[in-house]
Structure 1
Amino acid sequence: MENSFVELNGRDRAKALFDHGTARELVGPLDNLYSPHLMPQGIVPESDDGIILMKGQIKGLDSVVISMEGAFQGGGIGEVGGAKIVAALEQTLKDNQNGHKEYPIIVFDTGGVRLQEANYGLLSISEIQNMIIALKKYVPVIGVVPGRVGAFGGMSITSAMMSYLIATDEARVALNGPEVIEQEAGVREFDSSDKNLIWNTLGTKQRAATGLVDEIVDDDVDLIKDAIVAAIQEKKDSHRTENVDFYLSLLKDIDFNQPMDTEEYRKLFPTVKAGNHHIAEAQKSTTAKDKSRGRLWFEKLTGIENAESEVSTVLHATVDGKEFIAIVPDTQNKRFPRVRAGEVGLMEGFTVAKIVNQVIEEDQDKEQKRPIVCIVDVPSQAYGYKEELIGINVALASSAAAYAKARQAGHPVIDFIPGDAVSGGFLAHGLQSNRMIALGDDSITIQAMSKASAARITLRTIEELEEATKHVPAMAYDVFNYTKLGALYKRIDSIKSWDASDKNVARIQKEIDAAIDSTKGQPTDLSYRYTNEIAVNEGRVATLKMRKAVEDQWNN
């Protein structure tokens, strides 16, 4: 097709957006900063790690374009490429803070986390999201989803945070790909061989009609440029992650035990009126609840026995000046069967967002901001057809964005991880924290995807996947290898996940208080993860090299 944007590769897409002769690539192929984690797995790396970064002008506007190459590892985000994106957005933020208007555009062509670098991908995506939330205070952050791969996984959560999201008819946007839903929930939940079902549900016509995409543009370079410029000049912002009350009202109108197709949802969506929602604190009860490590520690740290809430899977309470939040199982959950084991779904994402936004609002005029303690025990995000139809990526984006805003406003956000921290569930509830404290327990899983799904997506057997983890700590599933990445503030080996004795609870309370104190006078960003001793010497060496390269070339 003449003047097609979709048919271009990632580099040519970036070049095509700029005015003639103004584009300058930073940290390109000749700089040879590639991922060090692929060769040990027998995978040939790319010298730009599949992320193209350019500066120039678009219709005379100083702009930064970040473009993903979907042909390399499905556009997956790993350590080096992720660091390039984060560093570019950080430099763009600095320019805008210094009075130089500069507009960031992200071209999505990605399956999300690069599973061959799993936990590096999750960390990078959370760091990208943090920068987007910071930048939106100054300029619109524009997203473009051309097609081919689309925007999936954790990067679909990122796409939901954009000020304005433009797509062509050939694009798809979803948190969970159909193959992953089929693997995790069965073919009856989502048949990955049904192409019509996939496009009708995840394609941009449906997404635009239901608020997940803001504008559909024909596949033409000039039309896409015009749409980007209009979005910048008109300061377009859908405030997608702020529409929490709307979605909480919408969820009340849907029976998740009854079938719903795309047409029914398209008819329902515009009729919903946003009500005012307030999420009350958890209360003590006399009825025993489903056990989980997250619930156990929430109850012990807050002193609320058999804690219950109007949203059965989300507990929160302010105790001793700290706001505690946990996501917990409810095996009898009749309305949302896909979250019975403690997964993070639609209701969980929007409810946590509402709670955190309440805290921000209540403390906005206070000099001392309330610390927020995330008790993390999330086995994954929810895998379900209705979850994708409605937009679980928006639910998780709303939660992550709220945590990021709270931290940037001065609320210390502290993770305590006594249980699993997996995939989109971790992005939504945990990865926007200043500090992470984890128990050193073999039963804890920290990862981007279950082994079965990761093996299927990467075309490996589970045995081959486990062998690869011996060479790349970021692919491992245990907290001990996770420590090597430098992400943790502290790992406590003397306390096990289910051992919430009075002595151990007192110890954890002290550790949380120490983590809060460590944030005083420190940046409210996520830089601790790549500036601590483990990160500098081992875990984030490649990140720091890329950050320096971007900084050195930014104004040269």
Structure 2
Amino acid sequence: MKDSFVELNGRQRAFALVDSNSGREIVGPEYDMISPHLEPQNIVPESDDGVIVVKGTLDGKQVVIISIEGKFQGGGIGEVSGAKIVATLEEALEDNKNGNTIYPIIVLDTGGVRLQEANYGLLSISEIQNAVIALKKYVPVIGVVPGRVGSFGGMSITSAVLSYLITTAKARVALNGPEVIEQEAGVREFDSSDKDLIWNTLGTKQRVKTGIVDEVVKDNIATIKESISNAIDQKKDAHRTDRADFYLTLFDKIDFNKPLNTEEYRKVYSETQAVKHDISATVSGEKPGTKSRGRLWFEKLTGIKNATSKYSTVLAAEVDGKEYIAIVPDENNRFPRVRHGEVGLQEGFVISKIVNKIVDEDQDKKVKRPIILIVDVPSQAYGYKEELIGIHIGLASSAAAYARARQAGHPVIDFIPGDAVSGGFLAHGLQSNRMIALADKSITIQAMSKASAARITQRTISELEEATKHVPAMAYDIFNYEKLGALYKLVHDVSSWDANDDAVKKVHELIDEAIESTKDQPTDLHFRYETPIAIESGRNFCS
């Protein structure tokens, strides 16, 4: 097709978006920035690791294009590719802070985390989101989803924090791919062989009518350039992560135990008018809630017995000047896919309201309230309705709120006594500037379940487990995660399920120590690159 943008490769797309003869590639293939994690798995690496960065002009405006190559590892984000994106965005941030206006444009052709580098991918994606949120204070950050792969996984969460999202009719946007939902929830939940169902649900013709993308344009280079330029000139911003009251109102209208098709959802979406939802603090109740490590530690750290709240899966309370937040299971939840501690449609929006209120209340205070995240999230929710409505927007809303809080000077501290998996961890945990975890074998920390990861990477589970022996970022345990250097402290001699008085006292002391360590320090995520373990492992090229 003549002048097709979709049919170009990643490098061609980057140069196609800038004015003729204005583009120059930054950190190109000649730098040989290959991933060190692929060859040990018998995977041939690429010298640009699947990310192309081009600086130039668009209609005379200074721009930087970040183009993800969907043909390499499905556009998956790993350590090196993620570092290239983060470094580019952070350089653009500094330019804009210094009055040198430059507009970032991200071409999303990505399945999300590169599963062969799973935990590095999750870290990188959270850092990309942090940089985008910081940049939006100065300039719009524009996303383009051309097609082929689309924008999935953690990068769908990233798409939701962008200012404006332009797509073609050949694109799809979703958190969980149909194969993953089928693997996790069964074929009755989402039949991955039903192509009409997939495109009707996740395709951009549906997405543009329900606020997930902003503009669907023809697959034509000139048309896409014009749309980007107009979005920049008009400073367009969908404020997608600032619509918590709208979505909470929408959820009030839907029975999640009944079927919901695309036409019905478009109707309820178009008829919904936001009603303010007040989020009251968690209080003591008469009956114990569904058991979990997150609930146990929330109740012990706050002293709130049988903690109960209006939104049963989100516990939040201020104690001794600190705000504690946990996501917990509820076996009677009206959302069937969110009964075991998953982060679903509602949780992210509720958390965003809690955190944004704290930021607003402390705006003029010299000392900002610390926000303590108790992390025990087995995953995001896997469900058809979740994808139809756009679960990634909910997850992006809490991630954005935590990032804004940290950037405003609030210490955001993770305490991880339980699982920290996939989009759940991106939404509730990975925007913290300090992470404390228990050294407990029962803790799983990863980007995807073994069964789904094996299916997507076309490996057996035994082959997947063998690969984790050579690549710590692929492993599922907290001890291998420590090798990545992102943790502030790994706490030995405290069990996930044994929150005795001495253990609680020790965790309180470590939280206070972590808060103190953030004073007069940058409010970004660079601490993760600066620990001795991170430096030794080589994860320092974004600093």
Partner residue, 1:351: 350
Residue identity opposite 1:352 in structure 2:
I
Distance 2:318 2:540 in 1: 37
C-alpha displacement of 1:278 = 1.5
Residue identity opposite 1:362 in structure 2:
E
Does residue 1:278 correspond to 2:274, yes or no?
Answer: no
Partner residue, 2:323: 323
Partner residue, 1:551: none
Partner residue, 1:145: 145
Aligned counterparts, 1:101-500, within 5 A: 101-333=101-333, 335-500=334-499
Partner residue, 2:540: 544
Residue identity opposite 2:417 in structure 1:
P
Deviations 1:46-80 (A, max 9, x none): 00000000100011000000000000000000000
Partner residue, 1:98: 98
C-alpha displacement of 1:530 = 0.6
Partner residue, 2:527: 528
Question: Where do 5+ consecutive residues of structure 2 fail to align?
Answer: none
Distance 2:3 2:64 in 1: 22
Deviations 1:140-174 (A, max 9, x none): 00000000000000000000011000000000000
Residue identity opposite 1:226 in structure 2:
E
Q: Percent identity?
A: 71
SS at match of 2:105: strand
Distance 1:285 1:194 in 2: 46
C-alpha displacement of 1:294 = 0.2
Distance 1:243 1:460 in 2: 40
Distance 2:33 2:234 in 1: 37
Partner residue, 2:512: 513
Distance 2:288 2:469 in 1: 41
What RMSD in Å do the two structures reach over aligned CA positions? 0.7
Deviations 1:156-196 (A, max 9, x none): 00000110000000000000000000000000000000000
Residue identity opposite 1:283 in structure 2:
V
Distance 1:409 1:252 in 2: 32
Partner residue, 1:18: 18
C-alpha displacement of 1:233 = 0.3
Deviations 1:445-480 (A, max 9, x none): 000000000000000000000000000000000000
Distance 1:356 1:433 in 2: 13
Residue identity opposite 1:35 in structure 2:
S
Deviations 1:182-224 (A, max 9, x none): 0000000000000000000000010000000000010000000
Question: Where do 5+ consecutive residues of structure 1 fail to align?
Answer: 549-556
Distance 1:285 1:26 in 2: 57
SS at match of 1:497: coil
Provide the TM-score with structure 1 as the length reference: 0.97
C-alpha displacement of 1:362 = 1.5
SS at match of 2:512: helix
SS at match of 1:544: coil
C-alpha displacement of 1:358 = 1.4
Distance 2:504 2:104 in 1: 45
Deviations 1:414-470 (A, max 9, x none): 000000000000000000001000000000000000000000000000000000000
Distance 1:59 1:406 in 2: 35
SS at match of 1:465: helix
C-alpha displacement of 1:232 = 0.2
Residue identity opposite 1:264 in structure 2:
E
C-alpha displacement of 1:386 = 0.3
Distance 1:489 1:251 in 2: 37
SS at match of 1:373: strand
Provide the TM-score with structure 2 as the length reference: 0.99
Deviations 1:76-134 (A, max 9, x none): 00000000000000000000000011000000000000000000000000000000000
C-alpha displacement of 1:532 = 1.3
C-alpha displacement of 1:501 = 0.4
Partner residue, 1:80: 80
Distance 2:435 2:540 in 1: 20
SS at match of 2:372: strand
Distance 2:139 2:384 in 1: 35
C-alpha displacement of 1:2 = 0.5
C-alpha displacement of 1:544 = 2.7
Question: After the TM superposition, which segments of 4 or more aligned residues of structure 1 sit over 3 Å from their partners?
Answer: none
